[in-house]
Structures are given as structure tokens and as C-alpha cells.
Amino acid sequence: MFGLLTRRRRRGTVPVTERLPRAIGRLIEGIAPRSAPAVPQQRRHNPDAVVDCALYAAGVRRPGTVHYTEAARAARRRRGTYVWLGLHEPDRATMRSIAEAFDLHELVVEQAVEAGHRPALDTYGEMTRLVLRTAKYVEHDQLTATTEVVDTGDVTVLIGRWFVLSVRHGAAGALWPVRQDLEKRPAVLRQGPWAVAYAIANRMVDEYLTVAEAVERDLERLEEETFSVHPSPEIAHFYQLKREMVEFKRAVLPLSEPLGRLIDHPDLPAGLQPYFVDVRGRLARAVDRVAGFDDLLNSILQARLAQVSMSQNNDMRMIAAWAAIAAVPTVIAGIYGMNFSHMPELDWNYGFGAVLALMGVLCGGLYWRFKRSGWL
């Protein structure tokens, strides 16, 4: 018998007592939904990150298209010539290749690949790194709890003696209009790579003011809806707008300090200093407007909360008034429904009508009283 069991095990035959748990396990695995294995999110590959690359000399763009490696060699050899390379969301491989051509620090490469930087001004040897936040107003028919009002991104400007690199992340803040406008101003372009930094900063501040005007119109419309005869905005709409305002403030307010230090930068050409001073003045206006949005939005929100609280109080008073009116016939009907043998007016022919009349008079009196006091 023992030999027979041994031969069965060797042939792969398993007793029923051992097969049962495995069968149940397979059954449970078949019924239970299998969760897909988590796939780590990877940053998308963008080999075509180069938007434009051009050489500039004496305030004029050189004709033709040129690769950034060739442009870097040409700008090194020719005095008074510099290259402007525009990038949009480059990947790590592209940025390392550009770093070899322009001799960039490895930390600059890592920072340029990642998005979400705060406005900043740093110096790496002979190169200056300026970070600005981009902003764009998102058009919408009406404000809801999920409406996107402001779309933000960032642009990093790397300024060297003979080159300037602009690295943009996000959909907002396209720089091709900046390049087109700057190429129409040869006197500014002659100032070198710092002229590109001015043009980008100037465009970003202009966008801040444009977005601020559009947001101000949203606030005015929200204020009108709040104080209308039939106020409609929900509380969630206010908090959504507050979240969008926080994102906008993070783009505008921190730029004041780096821009102030940039004006005193030793490598900044004297001819560009008045331009940066003008940018700083318009940035101060944008900061004041954005800072005022918080106070205005908080005031409208407090007014709306007060309206909601008053509406709830009115509802509670109305419910209480109707409950008091309904209590009158309930009490009288409860008394006469106790089925005692000896009760007033039980044998009276007009007792039922008299009780109904009494209920109507009492209920009507209460309704008149509540209506007069504003509860109904």
C-alpha cells in the first residue's frame, strides 16, 4: 500500500485532500479581479525640442538655418556674434548634447530638464541663469468648481558671453512672438545676449498684466452675480478661483527680488538697464493688482457666506412657522381621538363643524401672524 502511494506521487497524482485547497485557490484567483501592475510614469521623449536656433551679429539675424553645434562654434570664433537657441521641454539626452556644445554646468542641465521652478537668478561662472514663470488666461464661459482660469509654466534663460538659451516648460508663454518682435529692433539686439533676457522678461510681465485684467473681469462678474436679486454662485466656485489665484501669485510675486538683483548685475549692459527698470515698474503694478485680488475675493466670499447663512435662517424660520401651524389641528385631533365616553360636544350636532372651524381660525391666525413678522 505504501509503495502504491509512493508510485502515485512520483507519477504526479496528488491526493484529493491536497488537491482541494489548490483548486479553491485557483477558483478564488479566477473570480477576484486582478489589478494591473503599476507602470511607473516616465517623462515623454522629446527629440524635437529645438524650436529655433539663429546667429545674431550687429543687431541682425544671419540668414539660413543652422544646427546649434555649428552655431556655437561660429559664435565662439566671431567677435560680436551670439547665438539664441530656443528649446521647449527638452529631454535629458538633448540637454546633455547641448551642454557639450555650450559648455554648461551639469547642475544647469538637471535644472533645465525639470519643470516647476520658482523665479530665481543664479550665477555659474560666466553664465547667468534667470528663471521666470509663464502665465496664460484660459477662456471660459462661466466659472465652475473645476474651471481652469490661469495656466502657468516656466522659462529658464541661460545667458553667456556669446550665447543665450531659453528653455520653456508648459503650454503658456510661447517665445516665437518675442523673437519676431526683437528682430525688428536691431538697436536692442546689438546689446548682446542680455537683450534676449530683457525681451523675454518684458513679454512675461506683459502677460501678467493681461491675465490680471482678465481675472479682474471674472471677479467683477462674480461680484455682480453675488449681489444680484437671485445670487447663483456656489461656494465651491469661490474656492476654485482662490486656488487659481494662488497659482498666479506664485508666478508673479516672487519675481520682484530676482529682477531687482538683475538690474545691478555687473554683466548687464548699461544700455539695457533703463529697459529692465521699466520692466520692474510694470511688474510692481502687476504685483499690486494681484495682491488686491485676494482682498476683493475674500470680501465677495464673506458676503456670499453671509447670504447663505441668512437664507438658511429664513428656511429654518419658515419650517418652524409651518410646524407651529400644523401643530394646532394635530393637538385638537389628538385630544378628540382619545375615545373617552364623556367629552365636550360629542353629542352636539354641530360639534364636528365647530371643531373644524376652530382649527381653521387658529391656523389662519397663526399664518397671519407669521406672515406679518416675515417668517412666511
CATH assignment of the domain containing 189:
3.30.460.20
Domain boundary among 287, 308, 329: 308
What range defines the domain where residue 227 resides?
Answer: 50-308
Residue 50 burial by Cβ neighbours in a 10 Å radius (0-12, 13-18, 19+): middle
| Residue 38, pLDDT score | 41
Query: pTM to 2 decimals?
Result: 0.70
Res 375 pLDDT > 70: yes
Q: Are residues 167 and 20 in the same domain?
A: no
Q: Is 198 inside a domain boundary?
A: yes
Q: Based on the fold, state whether residues 61 and 98 are members of the same structural domain.
A: yes
Cα–Cα distance measured from residue 294 to residue 246, given in angstroms and rounded to the nearest whole number: 9
Q: Based on the fold, state whether residues 264 and 368 are members of the same structural domain.
A: no
Same domain, 18 and 98: no
Give the start-end residues of each E strand in the chain: 50-57, 60-61, 81-88, 120-124, 127-137, 150-159, 163-169
Residues of the chain with pLDDT > 70: what percent?
Answer: 84
Average pLDDT score over residue span 9-36: 43
Per residue in 305-360, pLDDT (tens digit) is: 777 777 777 778 888 888 888 888 888 888 777 776 666 666 777 777 787 888 88
Instruction: Write down which residue in 263, 285, 308 finishes a domain.
Output: 308
Are residue 162 and residue 279 in the same domain, yes or no?
yes
Largest CA distance in the chain: 123
CA 165 – CA 98 distance, rounded (Å): 10
pLDDT for the residue numbered 16:
41
Report residue 127 as a C-alpha cell.
Answer: 553664465
Predicted local distance difference test score (pLDDT) of residue 228:
67
Q: How many domains does the chain have?
A: 3
